[in-house]
Amino acid sequence: MSGQAAPGKLIAQQAEQQGGVLAKLVIFALALGFVPISSYFLSRDYLWAGNTIYAAITAIISANLVLVAYIIESVREESRLRAREKQQQPAESKKDR
């Protein structure tokens, strides 16, 4: 009976994962579009007193920070997935017995 339930559980698990992944991707896509331009204009007007070169450098640094945050988040998600899989494996083997 556990053999019949396994595909359904797998699909439900993957659907839950995909939902979380999609939300994260949308957030990062919006951040990549919004953060550099807003940091350019805000830093030009309030931080660097009109100096456009420093404002452009600020925008570039903020865009690369979004990239670094994405890389870190993707590596963390994979390690989270590995930890979850290791946790679930002993539970299933107990049921099989």
Residues that bind another protein (CB under 8 A): 14, 17-18, 21, 24-25, 28-29, 32-33, 36-37, 40, 52-53, 55-57, 59-60, 63-64, 66-67, 70-71, 73-75, 77-78, 81
Q: Minimum CB separation from another protein for residue 67, in Å?
A: 6
- What's the closest the beta carbon of residue 16 comes to another protein, in angstroms? 12
- Which one, 6 or 67, has the nearer CB to another protein? 67
Cβ neighbours, 10 Å, residue 51: 12
**In this complex, which beta carbon is closest to another protein, that of residue 12 or of residue 67?**
67
Distance CA 22, CA 29 (A): 10
Q: State both tokens at 15.
A: 């659907």
| Residues 45 and 58 sit within 8 Å (Cβ to Cβ) | no
Nearer to another protein, 80 or 92 (CB): 80
- CA angle at 20 for the pair 65 and 66, rounded to the nearest 5°: 5
In 1-97, the DSSP E strands lie at none
Between 1 and 8, CB nearer to another protein: 8
